[in-house]
């Protein structure tokens, strides 16, 4: 099937809650300049080219979220567009916008509303129940269904529909003993199954850039990297795009919009939970903590096994219809160590084997930009580097080594006795005057804990 739709993508000037002439940028006000026309084609079984994706992002990045959603409903064929949501704050903003414009699937069926555009697709709602959610989350979902009169496509771990049956089969501590398997069974496999069974060509996500980590460079439109089989995020065999209409919004933007439009939200957010997931891995956080700081507690998500991770990265970056770009983890005050400079900067040994005396101790992080744990820890390590530079500029330097870009030098293990089996791994190399190496073993990578160490 070929769906050809003429789209008129017009630029606007603002994102988020910025105001102009007393009106919120959430409205669909248009700029009189820089308007453009794009003929977009979605061919079944054919992925948009990277140039097409880049062009779409250039045009959509200046548009209000509501216009991005309107574009998505025109670009994706009818019946092949979904919103995947856990009904968190960002998801609720998107749901409210879709409902306000009559784009939800149940509105078209039950209320017999005509789409805003003749060829506009309707949006189905998909949610994953891990069977380990808070009771408050289930209560919130019931209120959402009642408020918006929506139908939800629920997906559960395969062959299970109760917490007891799942825990009896896999053990109640699977999330701790094998978090990757837990994620595969409760989140990844149900998500893949949902996208496959519903024949999805595009899905709407609530991810935002200000949530940090790999989301820091999040585009509006991207090719979906969700696997079709297996636990690794391999290149998908089925062309599918992911739309992030709120990519440029902030946490503050989201909550201003929620209160402005009286949108229901999970009552746990009033008790210090900035982000809500499974009951055994989510805790309340302090007001100034990052939004996702209270997630994945006790799941051993503080590291990525080195060998399995490198194999995963190799698979992710293998040749295919979609090429992946590694996330960026900035660290302005870090020395970038690699195979060529490691011996010189860490051991004081030049390329011709001459040893020189080093005057500074060195804190080293072995990391991978692809590792989720490294992405979570990255901002903390950057703050650690800044703090050490401020306090001990003449005594200690901070460096990091990207294990996916460079082979770990033989000297790291043979001379310094470093064993890098997972990332992130942190070592302190002290010059006494010969190098003395200490490994940081704690799973807590926050600034205060590491500096105390």
Confidence of residue 13 (pLDDT cuts 50, 70, 90): very low
Q: pLDDT of 371-399, one tens digit each?
A: 777 877 888 888 999 999 888 877 899 99
Q: pLDDT of 128-185, one tens digit each?
A: 999 999 999 999 999 999 999 999 999 999 999 999 999 999 999 888 777 778 888 8
Question: Which of 53-67, 145-159, 419-433 shows the lowest mean pLDDT across its residues?
Answer: 419-433
Question: Which of 74-83, 124-133, 250-259 shows the lowest mean pLDDT across its residues?
Answer: 74-83
- Say whether pLDDT at 279 is over 80: yes
- Say whether pLDDT at 3 is over 50: no
Asked whether 6 and 39 are in contact (CB, 8 A), the reply is: yes
Asked whether 320 and 235 are in contact (CB, 8 A), the reply is: yes
- Say whether pLDDT at 9 is over 50: no
Q: pLDDT of 220-235, one tens digit each?
A: 998 875 544 444 333 3
Max Cα-Cα span within the chain: 81
Question: Which of 14-18, 270-274, 287-291, 384-388 shows the lowest mean pLDDT across its residues?
Answer: 14-18
pLDDT given at position 420? 84
pLDDT given at position 393? 77
- Say whether pLDDT at 102 is over 70: yes
pLDDT given at position 118? 46
The residues that are catalytic are: 304
Q: Give CA separation, 215 vs 94, 269, 432, in Å.
A: 18, 22, 41
pLDDT given at position 314? 60
Give the whole-angstrom CA distance, residue 430 versus residue 437. 6
Q: Give CA separation, 301 vs 185, 237, 252, 290, 362, in Å.
A: 16, 28, 27, 16, 26
pLDDT given at position 354? 61
- Say whether pLDDT at 28 is over 70: no
pLDDT given at position 21? 29
Give the whole-angstrom CA distance, residue 268 versus residue 387. 34
pLDDT given at position 435? 76
pLDDT given at position 329? 82
pLDDT given at position 400? 93
Give the whole-angstrom CA distance, residue 122 versus residue 79. 6
Confidence of residue 344 (pLDDT cuts 50, 70, 90): confident
- The C-alpha angle 211, 217, 220, rounded to 5 degrees, equals 90
Higher pLDDT, 211 or 122: 122
Confidence of residue 90 (pLDDT cuts 50, 70, 90): very high
- What average pLDDT does the chain have? 76
Confidence of residue 320 (pLDDT cuts 50, 70, 90): very low
């Amino acid at each position: 099937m070929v769906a050809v739709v003429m789209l008129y993508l017009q630029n606007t000037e603002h994102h988020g809650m910025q105001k102009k002439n007393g009106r919120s940028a959430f409205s669909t006000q248009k700029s009189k300049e820089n308007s453009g026309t794009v003929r977009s084609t979605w061919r079944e079984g054919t992925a948009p080219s990277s140039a097409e994706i880049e062009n779409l992002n250039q045009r959509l990045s200046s548009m209000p979220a509501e216009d991005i959603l309107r574009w998505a409903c025109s670009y994706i064929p009818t019946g092949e567009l979904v919103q995947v949501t856990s009904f968190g704050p960002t998801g609720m903003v998107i749901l409210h916008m879709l409902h306000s414009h009559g784009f939800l699937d149940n509105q078209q069926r039950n209320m017999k509303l005509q789409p805003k555009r003749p060829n506009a697709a309707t949006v189905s709602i998909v949610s994953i129940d891990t069977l380990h959610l808070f009771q408050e989350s289930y209560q919130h979902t019931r209120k959402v269904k009642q408020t918006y009169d929506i139908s939800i496509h629920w997906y559960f771990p395969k062959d299970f529909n109760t917490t007891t049956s799942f825990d009896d089969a896999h053990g109640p501590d699977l999330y701790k003993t094998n978090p990757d398997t837990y994620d595969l069974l409760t989140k990844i496999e149900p998500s893949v199954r949902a996208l496959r069974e519903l024949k999805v060509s595009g899905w709407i996500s609530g991810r935002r850039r200000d949530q940090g980590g790999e989301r820091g460079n999040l585009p509006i439109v991207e090719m979906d990297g969700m696997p079709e089989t297996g636990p690794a995020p391999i290149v998908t065999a089925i062309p599918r795009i992911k739309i992030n209409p709120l990519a440029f919004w902030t946490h503050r933007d989201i909550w201003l919009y929620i209160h402005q439009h009286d949108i229901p939200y999970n009552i746990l957010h009033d008790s210090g939970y900035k982000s809500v997931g499974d009951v055994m891995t989510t805790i309340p956080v302090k007001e100034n903590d990052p939004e996702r700081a209270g997630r994945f507690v006790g799941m051993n998500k503080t590291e990525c096994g080195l060998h399995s991770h490198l194999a995963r990265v190799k698979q992710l970056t293998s040749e295919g219809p979609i090429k992946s770009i590694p996330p960026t983890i900035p660290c302005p005050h870090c020395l970038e160590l690699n195979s060529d400079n490691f011996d010189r900067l860490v051991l004081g040994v030049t390329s011709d084997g001459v040893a020189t005396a080093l005057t500074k101790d060195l804190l080293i992080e072995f990391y991978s930009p692809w590792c989720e744990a490294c992405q979570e820890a990255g901002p903390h390590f950057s703050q650690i580097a800044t703090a050490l530079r401020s306090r001990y500029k003449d005594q200690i330097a901070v460096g990091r080594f990207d294990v996916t870009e460079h082979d770990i030098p033989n000297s790291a293990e043979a001379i310094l006795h470093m064993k890098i089996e997972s990332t992130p791994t942190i070592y302190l190399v002290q010059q006494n005057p010969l190098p003395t190496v200490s490994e940081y073993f704690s799973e807590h990578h926050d600034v205060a804990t590491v500096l105390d160490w």
